[in-house]
């Protein structure tokens, strides 16, 4: 009943979190999230290094395949009228690879936008939390100022008016003491005042980094799309130079793809470790950064019935003091106003102040309750650990697909352009015999 | 300071909302969202009918093109060794159209998942609101029961114990009256009790419909993907029967695509009208469905400083009464316990009840404050009017792209298979001369 159903780690998080980790000496590393420990950093770097291994292996494979193709192809009789066997197969496998690359690009665009969605959910939750925290500070400041103003002006006037009757002055002094006590209790509620950590700043930093990450991926995706399309165009027009340029570009994009595989895999593994049990890490980090007591932080980060409201006592005391002030004012109005009509104006003004303060007090209670801030925390976690992680896995799939597709294309392209006729016409769709698509050489 | 930045209509909403609408007599219809009015329904049906017009036009165009191609093609000399001019161009235009269709399918998958995200955001906001509303009812019930129990048992015991001293009995009776008043005030706060509208039910209905919508689109997308891939395969293997079957399937998918264009366009237009100014419509609808006063509904749906908390007075009165009970109990403890030691137990138990009730009261204040429910309302609107509408527009783009691509493919495919050799080998990549991709007939 207290907190609404919050964040729960997804199946992907569990799966990634269960993968074994090792440091550079291949000793097992526990999979708890500890980015400050050297062992854990080494485990993540090792995950990234696996991608480097993949790149090396695929480059070796391509080189061996092409050398074998160049050196071991059967000698072709000059002026032969039949094309080399498998020529069409090579072109078609190249087209299929490029199509797979295009499907990968679609997946990549989806993953990139999903990641971006998740991160923007994180930063909007941070902005919302910042809004709540600053609203608390602002409201407390306003209430304290209003009470202080009432004490300085109306209560002083009242005491001066009521001077002839000491018991009434004592009642007014009682109200003053209570009001001062309320103001003091309230000041203790502005718990985020003077805290060096600003969620707004964190949100801005996150958005800034995410913007460049998004842009980098969009550029990579567009580059790969252009490579695929121009390669297809080169095959269609049988333009040797275009296919050669695209072969070189494919090599470049292959290297970039493996690089991004490394980055994505390491980030996904780290993120899954964080997401499998985020509360202790976030609690510790926030405590270090803000210096707030663990009572307050556990109240907001856990928000269940086991953790009591750390402001409960202050709130109850303030509320009782406000109710007492109200009944004292009512008593004074009954006793004093018939005798001192000039006391009515400050009394009414004081009652108005108490009413407004009680209204603001309800708003403060609502703001201080853990529901709001805990919901932001849950939304931030869901953004990071569900949407962003899922997007990251889609990006990983894209990178793997494109690495595979580009490796296949790199194997096929040189064989395909070896089949092109020596001179190629420049017009596509010219209707001439030589512009027929993918027409093998020698026909 | 009150409410966090909420929902604001996006540029797409403004753009779609500004399009002119007309009924069946082509009289202009105001673009305010009014789904119960016949004129407005006609305007939406007219938008959907435009898609029917598009389907008709594209079918006529394809028919004219194909008839012209069949009847007006130049007679081919029998046994001619040159292929008909433009044969490769036809095949290539077919491939390009199918590629455009594939890009459209990617966009469609993205749009479908975006729409699904938006709708699931809507239903999770509804679930969250339901949670808050039932938590309010539950908490009020609990507090009222606890107070009633205390009045029935401890206060009765106390009155019996204190019977010898009438002024103490009077104080206890005062506390009883206050507790009964608090219980009565609290009962007025459970405003959702007995309301016939259940957000849970609405969320389940929405999820149910969305599930089938999502599945229907996934099936349509997969069907189109299969058509594209099998058509490409048919072209590659030069398999006449496969291409003929796929031509028929393309026609079917073309009709489905235009149908979905109509649905999507009408939904997008209706949604933009709703989203350009959702508050009045939602307020009216909720008032009709729930019968709640407009004070309460505007407080939650608008949640700005212009609308005051409709529970403010009840909350303040309850809070003051609780504080009074507390001070009366303290007074009784001071006065009565030295004389009647047996009064201590019920007094301590009553104080505990008041403390717990004050703690629950703070939780109730937090639940009743508009921030939480208004945030859910904003999240629901953002889900529907940002994510779902954006997804719908992507689906519209997919449908348009696929309608265009399929129309082009339908124009090209019969020309392409007319170029196939009379008998085709079944093996792809067999290495034989006839399996070269897209080899024109007559070679």
Which residue from B102, B309, B437 is facing A438, i.e. has the nearest CB?
B437
Q: Which of B229, B312, B366, B390 to mutate to test the interface with A (most CBs of A within 10 A)?
A: B366
Assess whether pLDDT exceeds 80 at residue B31: yes
Question: Could you tell me what percent of chain A has a pLDDT over 70?
Answer: 90
Cβ under 8 Å to A: B residues 192-231: none
Closest-CA distance, B170 to chain A, in angstroms, reads: 19
One-character DSSP codes across B95-160: HHHHHHHHHHHHHHHHHHHHHHHHHHHHHHHHHHHHHHHHHHHHHHHHHHHHHHHHIIIIIHHHHH
What confidence score (pLDDT) does residue A433 get?
A: 37
Q: What is the distance between the alpha carbons of residues A400 and A255, in angstroms, rounded to a whole number?
A: 12
Residue reference for tokens 């010219």:
A430
Output phi, psi for A33, to 5 deg: -75, 115
Give pTM, 2 decimals: 0.83
Q: What pLDDT, in 10s, does the model give residues B42-52?
A: 999 999 999 99
Q: Quick one: A431 exposed, middle or buried, by C-beta within 10 A (0-12, 13-18, 19+)?
A: middle
Q: Which of A433, A435, A440, A441 to mutate to test the interface with B (most CBs of B within 10 A)?
A: A433
Q: What pLDDT, in 10s, does the model give residues A311-328?
A: 989 999 998 899 989 988
What confidence score (pLDDT) does residue A439 get?
A: 38
Contact (Cβ atoms closer than 8 angstroms) between residue A320 and residue A219: no
Measure Cα distances from B196 to B192, B200, B202, B289, B290 in Å: 9, 12, 12, 7, 6
Torsion of CA B207, B211, B214, B216, to 10 degrees: -140
Closest-CA distance, B276 to chain A, in angstroms, reads: 22
CB pairs under 8 A between A and B: 159
Secondary structure of chain A as H, E, C letters: CCCCCCCCCCHHHHHHHHCCCECCCCCECCCCCCCCCHHHHHHHHHHHHHHHHHHHHHHHHHHHHHHHHHHHCCCCCCCCCCCCCCHHHHHHHHHHHHHHHHHHHHHHHHHHHHHHHHHHHHHHHHHHHHHHHHHHHHHHHHHHHHHHHHHHHHHHHHHHHCCCCHHHHHHHHHHHHHHHHHHHHHHCCCCCCCCCCCHHHHHHHHHHHHHHHHHHHHHHHHHHHHHHHHHHHHHHHCCHHHHHHHHHHHHHHHHHHHHHHHHHHHHHHHHHHHHHCHHHHHHHHHHHHHCCCHHHHHHHHHCCCCCCCCCHHHHHHHHHHHHHHHHHHHHHHHHHCCCCHHHHHHHHHHHHHHHHHHHHHHHHHHHHCHHHHHHHHHHHHHHHHHHHHHHHHHHHHHHHHHHHHHHHHHHHHHHHHHCCCCCCCCCCCCCCHHHCCCCCCCC
Q: What is the distance between the alpha carbons of residues B153 and B162, in angstroms, rounded to a whole number?
A: 14
Residue reference for tokens 């007559």:
B442
Residue reference for tokens 């095959």:
A235
Contact (Cβ atoms closer than 8 angstroms) between residue A443 and residue A136: no
Please indicate if any CB of chain B lies within 8 Å of the CB of A425: no
Of residues B33, B7, B6, B90, the one with CA closest to residue B417: B90
CB contact under 8 A, A320 and B327: yes
Query: Taking all residues of chain B, what is their mean pLDDT, rounded to a whole number?
Result: 86
Please indicate if any CB of chain B lies within 8 Å of the CB of A237: no
Of residues A320, A307, A300, the one with CA closest to residue A380: A300
Assess whether pLDDT exceeds 50 at residue B253: yes
Least confident interval from A273-277, A278-282, A296-300, B419-423 = B419-423
CB contact under 8 A, B324 and A326: no
Tell me which of B424 and A362 has the higher pLDDT.
A362
Report chain B residues whose CB lies below 8 A from the CB of A322: 323
Closest-CA distance, B390 to chain A, in angstroms, reads: 13
Of residues B275, B270, B246, B259, the one with CA closest to residue B217: B259
Which residue from B92, B369, B431 is facing A85, i.e. has the nearest CB?
B431
Closest-CA distance, B44 to chain A, in angstroms, reads: 31
What confidence score (pLDDT) does residue B74 get?
A: 56
CB contact under 8 A, B92 and A428: yes
Q: What is the distance between the alpha carbons of residues A339 and A159, in angstroms, rounded to a whole number?
A: 14
Secondary structure of residue B386 in the 3-state scheme:
helix
Question: Could you tell me what percent of chain B has a pLDDT over 90?
Answer: 52
Distance from the Cα of residue B191 to its chain's centroid: 26
Of residues B109, B116, B117, B113, the one with CA closest to residue B401: B109
What confidence score (pLDDT) does residue B424 get?
A: 44
Residue B73 — pLDDT band, cuts 50, 70, 90? low
Q: What is the distance between the alpha carbons of residues B82 and A322, in angstroms, rounded to a whole number?
A: 101
Q: What is the distance between the alpha carbons of residues A250 and A243, in angstroms, rounded to a whole number?
A: 10
Tokens of B388: 């779902």
What confidence score (pLDDT) does residue A100 get?
A: 85
Q: What is the distance between the alpha carbons of residues B310 and B189, in angstroms, rounded to a whole number?
A: 10
What confidence score (pLDDT) does residue B86 get?
A: 54
Q: What is the distance between the alpha carbons of residues B301 and B278, in angstroms, rounded to a whole number?
A: 10
Residue reference for tokens 């197969």:
A89
Please indicate if any CB of chain A lies within 8 Å of the CB of B440: yes
Mean of pLDDT values over A234-239: 81
Please indicate if any CB of chain B lies within 8 Å of the CB of A141: no
Residue A128 — pLDDT band, cuts 50, 70, 90? very high
Assess whether pLDDT exceeds 70 at residue B119: yes
| A304 Cβ neighbours under 8 A, 6+ residues apart | A2, A3
Query: Taking all residues of chain A, what is their mean pLDDT, rounded to a whole number?
Result: 86
Cβ under 8 Å to A: B residues 253-292: none
Please indicate if any CB of chain B lies within 8 Å of the CB of A236: yes
Q: What is the distance between the alpha carbons of residues A305 and A370, in angstroms, rounded to a whole number?
A: 11
Report chain A residues whose CB lies below 8 A from the CB of B315: 362
Contact (Cβ atoms closer than 8 angstroms) between residue B263 and residue B52: no
Closest-CA distance, B7 to chain A, in angstroms, reads: 13
Please indicate if any CB of chain B lies within 8 Å of the CB of A438: yes
Contact (Cβ atoms closer than 8 angstroms) between residue A51 and residue A259: yes
CB contact under 8 A, A362 and B365: yes
Report chain A residues whose CB lies below 8 A from the CB of B424: none
| A37 Cβ neighbours under 8 A, 6+ residues apart | none
What confidence score (pLDDT) does residue B422 get?
A: 65
Cβ under 8 Å to B: A residues 340-369: 355, 358-359, 362-363, 365-369
Q: What pLDDT, in 10s, does the model give residues B127-136?
A: 999 999 999 9
Closest-CA distance, B310 to chain A, in angstroms, reads: 11
Least confident interval from A65-69, A116-120, B49-53 = A65-69
Residues in chain B: 443
Of residues B166, B176, B165, B175, the one with CA closest to residue B340: B165
Please indicate if any CB of chain B lies within 8 Å of the CB of A428: yes
pLDDT winner (highest mean) among A82-96, A424-438, B143-157: B143-157
Residue B423 — pLDDT band, cuts 50, 70, 90? low
Please indicate if any CB of chain A lies within 8 Å of the CB of B324: yes
Assess whether pLDDT exceeds 60 at residue A40: yes
Residue B5 — pLDDT band, cuts 50, 70, 90? low
Which residue from B5, B139, B365 is facing A365, i.e. has the nearest CB?
B365
Assess whether pLDDT exceeds 80 at residue A431: no
Q: Which residue of B has its CA nearest to A232?
A: B96
Output phi, psi for A361, to 5 deg: -60, -40
Q: Which of A5, A81, A141, A363 to mutate to test the interface with B (most CBs of B within 10 A)?
A: A363
Contact (Cβ atoms closer than 8 angstroms) between residue B131 and residue B402: no
Least confident interval from A7-16, A225-234, A282-291, A392-401 = A225-234
Q: Which residue of A has its CA nearest to B106?
A: A106
Residues forming a β-bridge with A22? A28
Please indicate if any CB of chain A lies within 8 Å of the CB of B315: yes
Distance from the Cα of residue B6 to its chain's centroid: 17
What confidence score (pLDDT) does residue A5 get?
A: 60
What confidence score (pLDDT) does residue A81 get?
A: 45
Assess whether pLDDT exceeds 60 at residue B442: no
Please indicate if any CB of chain B lies within 8 Å of the CB of A124: no
Secondary structure of A206-258 as H, E, C letters: HHHHHHHHHHHHHHHHHHHHHHHHHHHHHHHHCCHHHHHHHHHHHHHHHHHHH
Which residue from A82, A109, A436 is facing B433, i.e. has the nearest CB?
A82
Closest-CA distance, A300 to chain B, in angstroms, reads: 14
Least confident interval from A63-72, B258-267, B358-367 = A63-72
| A402 Cβ neighbours under 8 A, 6+ residues apart | A101, A104, A105, A108, A224, A253, A257
What is the dihedral sign for C-alpha B171, B172, B173, B177? Answer: positive
Closest-CA distance, A30 to chain B, in angstroms, reads: 35
Residue A283 — pLDDT band, cuts 50, 70, 90? very high
Q: What is the distance between the alpha carbons of residues B443 and B437, in angstroms, rounded to a whole number?
A: 13
Report chain B residues whose CB lies below 8 A from the CB of A131: 4-5
Report chain B residues whose CB lies below 8 A from the CB of A312: 359, 362
Mean of pLDDT values over A100-114: 88
CB contact under 8 A, B4 and A128: yes
Closest-CA distance, B299 to chain A, in angstroms, reads: 13
Q: Which residue of B has its CA nearest to A373?
A: B372
Report chain B residues whose CB lies below 8 A from the CB of A2: 363
What confidence score (pLDDT) does residue A442 get?
A: 36
Residue B194 — pLDDT band, cuts 50, 70, 90? confident
Q: What pLDDT, in 10s, does the model give residues A130-160?
A: 999 999 999 999 999 999 999 889 889 888 8
What confidence score (pLDDT) does residue A129 get?
A: 94
Mean of pLDDT values over B215-233: 91
Contact (Cβ atoms closer than 8 angstroms) between residue A136 and residue A189: yes
Assess whether pLDDT exceeds 80 at residue A428: no
One-character DSSP codes across B216-254: HHHHHHHHHHHHHHHHHHHHHHT-HHHHHHHHHHHHHHH
What is the dihedral sign for C-alpha A206, A212, A217, A222? Answer: positive
What confidence score (pLDDT) does residue B68 get?
A: 87
Tell me which of B79 and A150 has the higher pLDDT.
A150
């Amino acid at each position: 009943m207290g907190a609404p159903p919050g964040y729960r780690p997804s199946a992907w998080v569990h799966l990634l979190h269960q993968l074994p980790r090792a440091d550079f000496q291949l000793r097992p590393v526990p999979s708890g999230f500890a980015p400050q420990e050297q062992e854990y950093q080494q485990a993540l770097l090792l995950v990234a290094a696996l991608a480097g291994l993949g790149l090396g292996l695929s480059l070796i494979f391509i080189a061996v395949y092409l050398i074998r193709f160049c050196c071991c192809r059967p000698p072709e009789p000059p002026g032969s009228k039949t094309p080399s066997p498998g020529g069409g197969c090579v072109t078609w496998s190249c087209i299929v690879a490029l199509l797979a690359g295009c499907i990968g690009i679609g997946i990549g665009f989806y993953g990139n936008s999903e990641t971006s969605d998740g991160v923007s959910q994180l930063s909007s939750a941070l902005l919302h939390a910042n809004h709540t925290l600053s609203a608390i500070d602002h409201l407390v400041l306003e209430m304290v100022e209003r009470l202080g103003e009432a004490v300085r002006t109306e209560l002083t006037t009242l005491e001066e008016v009521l001077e002839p009757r000491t018991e009434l002055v004592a009642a007014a002094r009682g109200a003053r003491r209570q009001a001062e006590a309320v103001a003091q209790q309230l000041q203790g509620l502005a718990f985020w005042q003077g805290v060096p950590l600003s969620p707004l700043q964190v949100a801005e930093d996150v958005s800034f980094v995410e913007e460049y990450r998004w842009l980098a991926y969009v550029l990579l995706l567009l580059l790969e799309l252009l490579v695929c399309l121009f390669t297809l165009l080169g095959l269609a027009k049988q333009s040797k130079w275009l296919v050669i340029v695209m072969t070189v570009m494919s090599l470049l994009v292959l290297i970039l793809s493996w690089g991004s595989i490394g980055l994505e895999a390491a980030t996904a593994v780290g993120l899954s470790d964080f997401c499998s049990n985020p509360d202790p890490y976030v609690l510790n980090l926030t405590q270090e950064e803000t210096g707030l007591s663990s009572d307050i932080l556990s109240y907001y980060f856990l928000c269940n019935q086991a953790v009591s409201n750390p402001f409960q006592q202050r709130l109850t005391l303030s509320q009782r003091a406000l109710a007492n002030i109200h009944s004292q004012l009512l008593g004074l109005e009954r006793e004093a106003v018939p005798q001192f009509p000039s006391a009515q104006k400050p009394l009414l003004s004081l009652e108005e102040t108490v009413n407004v303060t009680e209204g603001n007090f309800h708003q403060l209670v609502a703001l201080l309750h853990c529901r709001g801030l805990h919901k932001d925390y849950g939304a931030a976690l869901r953004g990071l650990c569900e949407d962003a992680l899922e997007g990251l896995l889609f990006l990983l799939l894209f990178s793997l697909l494109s690495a595979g597709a580009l490796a296949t294309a790199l194997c096929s392209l040189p064989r395909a352009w070896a089949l092109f006729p020596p001179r190629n016409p420049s017009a596509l769709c010219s209707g001439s015999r030589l512009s027929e698509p993918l027409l093998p050489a020698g026909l």
